[in-house]
Amino acid sequence: MQKFSGFLLAIVVAGIVSACSSSPSPILPPTKLTSIKDEFTLNELWYRQVGEGVSDRYYLLTPVIHNNAIYIIDYNGHLSVINPNTSDVLWEKNLGITVSAGLAKIDNVLLLASSEGDVVALDINDGKQLWKSRVSSEVLAKPVKAGNYVIVKSVDGKITALDFTTGKSKWVYDRSVPVLTLRGNSGLIVHDNTIITGLDNGKLLALSVDTGQVIWTLAVAVPRGRTEIERMIDIDATPVIYKDNLYAVSYQGRITNVHLPTGQIIWNRDFSAYHGMALSKDRLFISDSDGYVWALDLKTGATIWKQDKLVRRSLTRPVIHNGAVLVADFNGFVHWMDMNDGHFIARFRQGNDDSNKETEDDFIFSKSNGILIPPVIYQDKYFIFDRHGNISKLAVKH
C-alpha cells in the first residue's frame, strides 16, 4: 500500500512525465493571485510561533479550544496550551512520540495518535496520561467517541474500538485497501449508534458501535481508467450529516447525497475532492481537488456558484462565518468569499503586513508558508495555524 497526499501526487505525476521527455513538465503552476477590493479590514492582534507544527509532513493536527485555552500539538509530540487573548503559554508537556492525528476533545480528555499507531488519552487540565494503547498502524484521522468506546481508524484499513476509560481493545474491523491511495483517511462520524466513514475504495461504510459488525456499505464512486493513479477513488473527506441526509465525496469520483432513513441516493454528480465540506441550511461548500471552490444546492446538487481564481493552490476545507466562506492555501493566504455569489471580500497573508500581501515571489511548490488546517473561529476571532507552528489571531476592524 502506498499513500500520497494530493499535493505530492501532482509532483509524482510531473516527475514521471518529465523523466520521459526533455521538455519542461506540463504540470501547471498554482494560479497567481490578483488584487481584490477588501470589503472589510482585518487586524492581526498577535502573531507567534508555538512548537514546530508538522514541518514538511502532511498531518492535519487540529488545535482544540476549551475553557479559554488553545491546545496545540506538534508532530514531535510537544503539547502547548496558550491563552487566546495574549498568546502566553499556560503550560507545556512533551509526549515523546511522533503525532500524526489529533487533537480530539472528548469530555475532559484529549485524544491523539501517532505514526506508530499509539493512541494516547490525556487529562485536559494538566496533560497527565490516562492511558496509552497501540493499534495496528499509523493513524491519520482523529479518534472519536461512540458510546463507551474510542473509535480509531488506521491507514491499513482497520477500525478499532478502545474502552474509553482504560484504552483496552474491544473489537477490530478489518478490510483490504487498494494498492495506491491518497495520503489521508476519512474521519469517523457517529449517528444513531452507528459509525460511518469513507473508505479508500470509494465506498461508505457503516458499523455497529457495539460489535463492529457491518450494517451497510454504499458505493459513492466506481474506479475508471487503466492506471492505478487514474483508478484512485479514495473518500478522504469526512462525510457530513444534515438532518436526515449524509453527504460524501470521493477523489476522482462523485459527490453524493444519501437519505439515511431509507438508504436512497437523493442526488449525485461527478466530482473530485479530498478535503471536507461545510454546510449551511441550504448550501454545501466544498473546495475540489483542482482548487475550485463550489457552492452547491443541498437539495439538488446544482451549482449555485464556482470560484475559479484559486486553482491549484492546495486549499483547505471551507469554513463558514458571518456570511462568508473561508479557505486557506499553500502559500499562507486566507481568502474570504461572499456566501451568496463567491466573490472575494477579503484576503490576509500570514506573517506579512498589508503592504506586501499580494506578492508571491516564492509561491511555486513552496512549503514555507503552507496552511493545511482550516481557520479556527473562537469568540468571533480568526486563528490561523500554518505548517511550522506559526499562529495569527485576526479580528475584523470596525
pLDDT on residue 331: 93
pLDDT on residue 356: 42
Q: Is the pLDDT of residue 107 over 70?
A: yes
Domain over 1-54+309-398 is classified CATH 2.40.10.480 = yes
Q: Is the pLDDT of residue 334 over 60?
A: yes
pLDDT tens track for 168-209: 999 999 976 655 555 567 789 999 999 999 988 888 999 999
Residue-range domain boundaries for the chain: 1-54+309-398, 59-182
- The CATH fold assigned to 59-182 is Lipocalin (2.40.128)
User: Over the chain, what is the mean pLDDT?
Assistant: 88
Sheet of 319-321: strands edge to edge? 319-321, 324-328, 333-338, 344-349
Grid coordinates given for 94: 512533551
Nearest of 228, 208, 206, 227 to residue 217 by alpha carbon: 206
Instruction: Residue count of the chain, please give it.
Output: 398
**Higher pLDDT pick, 20 / 349:** 349
Residue 370: exposure state from Cβ atoms within 10 A (0-12, 13-18, ≥19): buried
pTM: 0.89
Q: Is the pLDDT of residue 20 over 70?
A: no
pLDDT on residue 367: 62
Cα–Cα distance for residue pair 76/210, rounded to 1 Å: 34
pLDDT on residue 353: 53
pLDDT on residue 201: 84
